[in-house]
């Protein structure tokens, strides 16, 4: 399990990015964005956010490319001093851990509501975390392989399900386009940012890529695929349930799939499939964030044994997942994470990049 020898290809990097990004956000994205936007122009916000994030991502990846084979925890030290690097590194690690906890919490909530009503939360979460640790203790190659198995299943079933709902779809729900001008669209950019968190995994993964020069391509593809999935979701949900219908639904995407029945096909009810693939996706997000947090601790504190770190992180993530007391606090946590991610991964890499160019670190000067 010697990580430094592992090389992942460009396609595998794309797979990791897409798997990370598709997570808890899919279920809540329609509601949060439509609340902010107020008009049916939600889909324009999604496309715009996608483009903005792609730009941000490319900056991030350029930064990483200047320091080949070094994760963000290692090269920040070279750009700023030791102490600032420590603080930033710790912030990153904390962020990864909290995202893992958030994802688990959302999964436990939804599973507890729709699948297993009377099972205690700890049973659901613990089994999940144990299988997670089994996966990541195999190292990056194992993680990537499992991701490559999960992703096609998810994509195919998800797209099929969403398109099946076209019997409810009414184009009138999406009109008028830009009826109230561009302002609502801009208002909708902020909530969609949380769902786009995931590109930051490149801060850690670029170090292991076979072909770091292609990381730009990987980032663009990864973000492109995620954006299209989000776009399809939002369009179908808003188009079928209409803007007003989403207002009071806690999990609009799930309700969309529950709103139709196709008589005669084997499953009449397709939400089972949707929940299955959603759980798979949450699992992948959880696994990769846990892994990144462990990598962070290893690199920042120069520890040796990854395995011990991974095991030790488990109880902390569990505690963090249990802290929000109800659904509203969970959503608040999610919003907070979105804000933090803007600072940590949009503004900071730009600053770091400029600093490294000014102070002549990395890249040609490495």
Partner 1 sequence: MNGKMWSTILSYVPKWTIWAQALMVFVVPVILYLTTNWFHTAIKRGSFSRKNKMNHSPKDISPAEAGIGPGTETGHYANIKLTGIYTTDLITVRETFGKNADVHIREFIIRGTNTRVAVMYTEGLTDTDLIDKYLIEPLMIKGIPELKQESFLHPEQADFLSTYLKTQILPVSEIQETQSLQELATGVLVGKNGLLVDGLPGAMLIGTSRLKTRGVDEPLSEGLLRGPRIGFTEELSDNTGILRRYGSDQSLFIEKFEVGSRIKKDVAIAYIQDIADPKLVTEVMKRVKAIHMDAMLESGYIEQLIEDDTLSPFQQVLNTERPDRVIGALLEGRVAILLDGTPFVLVVPVTFSMLLQSPEDYYERWIPSTFLRILRFMAAMLALLAPALYISFISFHPGLIPTKLVLTIIETRSGVPFPSLIEALIMELSIEILREAGIRLPKPIAPAMGIVGGLIIGQAAVQAGIISQFLVIVVAVTAISSFTIPVYSAGLTLRLLRFAAMFSAAVMGLYGVVMFFLLMCTHLARLSSFGVPYIAPAVPYHLSDWKDFVIRAPLNMMRRRPDMMNTTDEDRKK
Partner 2 sequence: MTSLRLWLRMICALLILSLISGCWSSREIEDLSLYVGLGIDVGQETKFEKKISAQGGGYPKEEIVTATVQIAPGKSSGQQSDEGGSPSSGKSSYSNEQLTGDSLLQIFRQFSLRRDRPLIGHHLKVIVISKDIAKKYGLKQLLDFVLRDNDIRPNCLVLISHHRALDVLTSKDPSRIPAFYLTGITNNSYISNKILEPVSLAKLDAEMQSGSSFLLQNVLNADGEDKFSGGSIFKAKTTKFIGELSQTDLEALSWIMPEEKAGGVIKTYSKEGFTVLYEIKKKTIKIIPKVSHGDISFHVKAESEGWLMEDWRAPEKEEKGAYLKELEQDFAKIVDQQIDQMLYKLQHTYKADVAGFRDSLRIHYPKTWKKVKDNWDEVFATVPITYEIKTNVVNPGSSTE
Among 179, 210, 265, 343, which residue sits at the site for partner 2 (rule: CB under 8 A)?
Answer: 179
Residue 41 touching partner 2 (CB under 8 A): no
Using CB under 8 A as the binding rule, whether residue 119 contacts partner 2 is answered as yes
Nearer to partner 1, 58 or 340 (CB): 340
Rounded to an integer, what distance in angstroms lies between the CA atom of residue 232 and that of residue 237?
8
Under 8 Å between Cβ of 257 and 167: no
**Among residue numbers 46 through 105, which ones bind partner 2 (CB under 8 A)?**
none
| Least distance from partner 2 to the Cβ atom of residue 314, Å | 17
Is the CB of 94 or the CB of 314 nearer to partner 1?
Answer: 314
Which residues face 238 on adjacent strands?
A: none
Count Cβ neighbours within 10 Å for each residue of 307-344 and write b for 16 or more, e otherwise. eebbeebbeebbebbeebeeeeebbebbeebbebbbeb
| Interface pick for partner 2 out of 103, 161, 200, 255 (rule CB under 8 A) | 255
CA distances from 281 to 147, 165, 188 (A): 9, 21, 25
Q: Which does 204 bind (CB under 5 to 8 A by kind): partner 1, partner 2, none?
A: none
CA dihedral 109, 106, 289, 235 (to 10 degrees): 140
Residues near partner 1 (CB under 8 A): 9, 11-12, 111, 115-116, 119, 122-131, 133-135, 137-138, 141-142, 144-146, 148-150, 263, 267-269, 271-272, 275-276, 279-280, 283, 307, 311-312, 314-316, 318-319, 322-323, 325
Q: What is the distance of C-alpha 54 from the center of its chain?
A: 14
Furthest CA-CA distance within the chain:
67
Q: Is 182 in the site for partner 2 (CB under 8 A)?
A: no
Residue number with CB closer to partner 1 (78 or 148) = 148
What is the H or E stretch that residue 318 is in? Answer: helix 306-322
116 lies in the site for partner 2, by CB under 8 A: yes
User: How long is the chain?
Assistant: 366
Q: Indicate whether 329 belongs to the interface with partner 2 (CB under 8 A).
A: no
Q: Select the binding partner of residue 244 from partner 2, partner 1, none (C-beta < 5 to 8 A, by kind).
A: partner 2
Residue whose entry in the numeric block shows the structure tokens 């000014």:
358
- Cis omega (within 30 of 0) for bond into 176: yes
Q: Which is nearer to partner 1, 8 or 229 (CB)?
A: 8
- How many Å apart are CA 2 and CA 174, to the nearest integer? 51
Angstrom distance (rounded) from CA 83 to CA 40: 47
Task: Work out what residue 245 binds among partner 1, partner 2, none; the CB cut-off runs from 5 to 8 Å by kind.
Answer: partner 2
By C-beta, is 133 or 236 nearer to partner 1? 133
In this complex, which beta carbon is closest to partner 1, that of residue 3 or of residue 148?
Answer: 148
Asked if residue 281 lies in contact with residue 19, where contact means CB atoms within 8 angstroms, the answer is yes
Positive/negative CA dihedral, 324, 328, 330, 333 = negative
Lay out the site mask for partner 2 across 208-247 (x = CB under 8 A, - = otherwise).
---------------------------------xxxxx-x
CB of 264 to partner 2, least distance (A): 13
Q: Which residues bind partner 2 (CB under 8 A)?
A: 39, 113-120, 123, 168, 170, 172, 175-176, 179-180, 241-245, 247-249, 255, 258-261, 269
């Amino acid at each position: 399990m010697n990580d430094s020898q592992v090389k992942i290809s460009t396609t595998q990097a794309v797979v990791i990015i897409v798997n990370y990004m598709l997570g808890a956000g899919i279920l809540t994205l329609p509601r949060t964005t439509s609340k902010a936007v107020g008009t049916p122009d939600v889909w324009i916000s999604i496309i715009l956010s996608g483009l903005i994030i792609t730009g941000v991502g490319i900056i991030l990846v350029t930064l990483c490319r200047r320091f080949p084979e070094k994760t963000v925890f290692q090269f920040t030290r070279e750009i700023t001093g030791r102490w600032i690097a420590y603080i930033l590194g710790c912030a990153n690690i904390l962020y990864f851990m909290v995202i893992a906890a958030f994802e688990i919490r959302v999964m436990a909530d939804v599973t507890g509501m729709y699948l297993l009503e009377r099972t205690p939360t700890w049973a659901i979460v613990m089994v999940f975390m144990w299988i997670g640790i089994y996966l990541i203790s195999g190292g990056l190659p194992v993680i990537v392989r499992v991701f490559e198995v999960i992703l096609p299943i998810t994509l195919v079933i998800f797209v099929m399900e969403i398109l099946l709902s076209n019997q409810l779809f009414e184009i009138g729900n999406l009109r008028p386009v830009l009826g109230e001008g561009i302002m609502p669209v801009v208002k909708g950019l902020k909530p969609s940012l949380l769902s786009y968190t995931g590109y930051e995994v490149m801060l850690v993964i670029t170090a292991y890529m076979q072909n770091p020069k292609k990381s730009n391509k990987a980032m663009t593809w990864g973000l492109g695929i995620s954006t299209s999935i989000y776009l399809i979701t939002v369009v179908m949900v808003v188009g079928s349930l209409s803007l007003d219908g989403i207002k009071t639904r806690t999990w609009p995407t799930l309700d969309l799939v529950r709103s139709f029945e196709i008589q005669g096909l084997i499953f009449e009810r397709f939400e089972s499939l949707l929940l299955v693939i959603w759980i798979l996706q949450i699992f992948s997000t959880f696994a990769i964030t846990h892994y990144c947090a462990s990598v962070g601790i290893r690199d920042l504190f120069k520890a040796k044994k990854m395995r011990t770190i991974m095991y030790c992180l488990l109880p902390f993530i569990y505690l963090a997942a249990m802290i929000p007391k109800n659904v509203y606090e969970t959503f608040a946590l999610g919003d907070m994470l979105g804000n933090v991610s803007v600072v940590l991964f949009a503004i900071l890499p730009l600053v770091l990049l400029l600093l490294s160019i000014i102070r002549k670190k990395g890249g040609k000067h490495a």
